[in-house]
Amino acid sequence: MKIAVAGTGYVGLVTGVCLAEQGHSVTCVDVDKRKIALMEAGISPIYEKDLEQLMARNMNRLNFTLDYKEAYRDADVIFIGVGTPEKKDGSANLSHVYSVALQIANSIEKDCVVVVKSTVPIGTNDKIEGMIRNNLAQEVNVYVASNPEFLAQGTAVRDTLYPSRIVIGVEEEVAGDILSRVYKDFDAPIVVTNRKSAEMIKYASNDFLALKISFINEIANLCEIIGADIEDVALGMGFDSRIGNKFLNAGIGYGGSCFPKDTKALHWLANFHDNELKTIKAAIDVNENQKLKLIKKARKYFDSFRGINVAVLGLTFKPGTDDLREAPTLVNIPIMLEDGCNLKAWDPVGVDNFREIYPDKVTYCNTIEETIKDADICFIFTEWDEVKNFDLSKYSELMETPIVLDGRNCYDLNSAKKAKMIYDSIGRETINSLEASLV
């Protein structure tokens, strides 16, 4: 089928490339000339595993353009995959979605299905349908469908090609039939429902996972107080099939483009209808507090960061991506810098993005060894494999004082006991294997 995709971020570009992989002819539309030039050269503007290889393999079925009129004019299906960033009040900013809807209305010359892939508040598809039908330049039939994405950054290609489920929200049978044809070669259960239910499935799924993360983090904080081990607790919980073992890794909170935005948006929507979601509000509050967990731990060792040499390992909100949105580093590093520390940082892919925020106050390093050399304290914010596989003995060899605060529980406690270091993680025993306590 002839498909157009509006937006070439994580959702739009991954969707377009994966649909081309399934044999469709896909045109990806964006307003950024630089991004279009990169993609035409076979270069992905976002860091995502396997995406460039898939682009290269399907360049004969992929087209990248700034010309939305030509892209939408005779498309069978148009996917909207533009961003819906968070407003200051927590609601979703839908200006990009509505702008694309008007462009579609002014451009299409044949019957088509418009598919909203972006995460939007419940009822948005109805508004988009009205907007498009009321502004059509040609007498054509337009059907609007909700088709939320369930991809995770770092595994977006795999999640799209081999989804856990495909959710299709439609009001007319013809739209459901066309989308079923789009996904006919995907091996996944298909849930067909109405549009509002499909919109809610996306929010409810993301917010439930956020709840799970905040719950295990609160349990981890209590484990530290009473002397339990959160990893053993999570292991024991995870064997229960009703609970499962995913999203039970304690840490310093969730970040990224989805969970923070989607929890706030659903909470805002509920409040707008005078129906507060208390569990979602609690998940948001717990997560905001959890981001500062390592700073609070650091106060046990230093009253102030002034003049302290600080090492930071990991800048992105999770491994496998260069995305900094809602990353804990964006909360913690400003506090340390304002206190007057000397800060060195390492990340295998996120440095360039972080340098745009802090071009001169942070020393960026190419290796972990370079980062921790002569440091008084080390913070681990992202569980990159390079960090998890790092030789613990090097902390004591290279650091001035080997104090390691681990926000992602990267190391085995028994290994930490064998190294000469203070190792303070989340929900577990603090290890002090130095000859003399520094506390």
pLDDT value of residue 107: 97
Q: Enter the tokens of residue 322.
A: 């260069």
> Average per-residue pLDDT in the chain?
95
pLDDT value of residue 438: 46
Return the CATH class of domain 2-193. alpha beta
**Cα-Cα-Cα-Cα dihedral of 237, 240, 245, 246, to 10°?**
-120
Q: What is the pLDDT of residues 131-188, one digit of tens each?
A: 999 999 999 999 999 999 999 988 999 999 999 999 999 999 999 999 999 999 999 9
Q: What is the pLDDT of residues 22-78, one digit of tens each?
A: 999 999 999 999 999 999 999 999 999 999 999 999 999 999 999 999 999 999 999
End-to-end CA separation in angstroms for the chain: 66
Of 434, 384, 385, 376, nearest to 405 by C-alpha is 376
pLDDT value of residue 439: 43
CATH superfamily of 293-432: NAD(P)-binding Rossmann-like Domain (3.40.50.720)
341 is catalytic: no
Q: What is the pLDDT of residues 266-286, one digit of tens each?
A: 999 999 999 999 999 999 999
SS (H, E, C) the chain: CEEEEECCCHHHHHHHHHHHHCCCEEEEECCCHHHHHHHHCCCCCCCCCCHHHHHHHCCCCEEEECCHHHHHHCCCEEEECCCCCECCCCCECCHHHHHHHHHHHHHCCCCEEEEECCCCCCCHHHHHHHHHHHCCCCCCCEEEEECCCCCCCCCHHHHHHCCCCEEEECCCHHHHHHHHHHCCCCCCCEEEECHHHHHHHHHHHHHHHHHHHHHHHHHHHHHHHHCCCHHHHHHHHHCCCCCCCCCCCCCCCCCCCCHHHHHHHHHHHHHHCCCCCHHHHHHHHHHHHHCCHHHHHHCCCCCCCCCCEEEEECCCCCCCCCCCCCCCHHHHHHHHHHHCCEEEEECCCCHHHHHHHCCCCCEECCCHHHHHCCCCEEEECCCCHHHHCCCCHHHHHHCCCCEEEECCCCCCHHHHHHCCCEEECCCCCCEECCCCCCC
Question: 208: which residues sit within 8 A by CB, 6+ positions away?
Answer: none
Residue 437 pLDDT exceeds 50: no
Q: What is the pLDDT of residues 87-103, one digit of tens each?
A: 888 889 999 999 999 99
Q: What residues does each domain of the chain span?
A: 2-193, 202-290, 293-432
Give CA–CA dist 322/377, Å, rounded: 24
Q: Which of 28, 112, 223, 258 is catalytic?
A: 258
pTM: 0.92
pLDDT value of residue 86: 87
The SS3 call for residue 268 is: helix
Give CA–CA dist 284/50, Å, rounded: 32
Averaged over 379-403, what is the pLDDT? Answer: 97
Of 260, 343, 350, 288, nearest to 314 by C-alpha is 350
DSSP letter, residue 1: -
pLDDT value of residue 333: 97
Does residue 424 contact residue 406 with C-beta atoms inside 8 Å? yes
User: 2-193 and 202-290: same fold?
Assistant: no
pLDDT value of residue 436: 44
Averaged over 115-142, what is the pLDDT? Answer: 96
Confidence of residue 435 (pLDDT cuts 50, 70, 90): low
Q: Which CATH architecture has domain 202-290?
A: Orthogonal Bundle (1.10)
% residues pLDDT > 70 (the chain): 99
Buried b (16+ CB within 10 A) or exposed e, 170-182: bbeeebbebbeeb
Q: Enter the tokens of residue 173.
A: 């049978």
Identity of the amino acid at 38: L
Does residue 204 contact residue 259 with C-beta atoms inside 8 Å? no
Averaged over 319-328, what is the pLDDT? Answer: 94
Place of tokens 């509000």: 281
Give CA–CA dist 401/421, Å, rounded: 8
Give CA–CA dist 116/95, Å, rounded: 14
Averaged over 330-340, what is the pLDDT? Answer: 97
